Amino acid sequence: MPRKTTTSATKKPQAAQVTDPAGDRFEKFRARGMAMQNRAGHRRRTFVTDDPFVLGEEYGFTPPIEIQKPVYTDRLAIEEMSRAGNATGVLRLLFKDDYRRFLAALNSVGDDAEEVAIGVFIDIQAHFYGEGIVDELVTFPM
């Protein structure tokens, strides 16, 4: 008896490969999370820009300090540290390798260094997420 063969015309179609796995694979979870936020009345975090926040020559930084938009794990850490009042941890996370350069500049400000640090943090957050995002965070005890 001849062996039965399958031609391309009789093969069952295979599932298409996902070309954007990070975007597509979590879409169900994203939709579920957004629906819950809407029901709870929480506003969705919006991103104003992906461009880095830059402190340049006008602030005495040559080369400029460029702060990249925080990734998810950094945003979680920033929120936790902010609520715990860990200002130095937040600044270290945001400024990364430029942290010491930023601190040296704060030393030259004098008694207002704490206020300048808080103001820079607020401007960084507003740059990436829009005005008012910091209103939900606890003020840093410096």
Amino acid at position 126, single letter: A
Which tens digits make up the pLDDT trace of 89-132? Answer: 999 999 999 999 999 999 999 999 999 998 999 899 889 988 77
Domain boundary assignment for the chain: 53-136
Tell me what the pLDDT averaged over the chain comes to: 80
Residue 65: phi, psi to the nearest 5?
Answer: -95, 125
pLDDT (0 to 100) of residue 28: 83
Of the pLDDT bands very low, low, confident and very high (cuts 50, 70, 90), residue 32 is confident
- Give per-residue pLDDT as tens, 51-67: 999 999 999 999 999 99
CA-CA-CA-CA torsion for 122, 67, 89, 100, nearest 10 degrees?
Answer: -110
d(C-alpha 58, C-alpha 102), whole Å: 14
pTM: 0.67
Orientation of helix 99-107 relative to helix 113-129, angle to 10°: 140
pLDDT for the residue 138:
45
- Residue 140 phi/psi, 5-degree rounding, is -70, 130
DSSP-assigned letter for residue 6: -
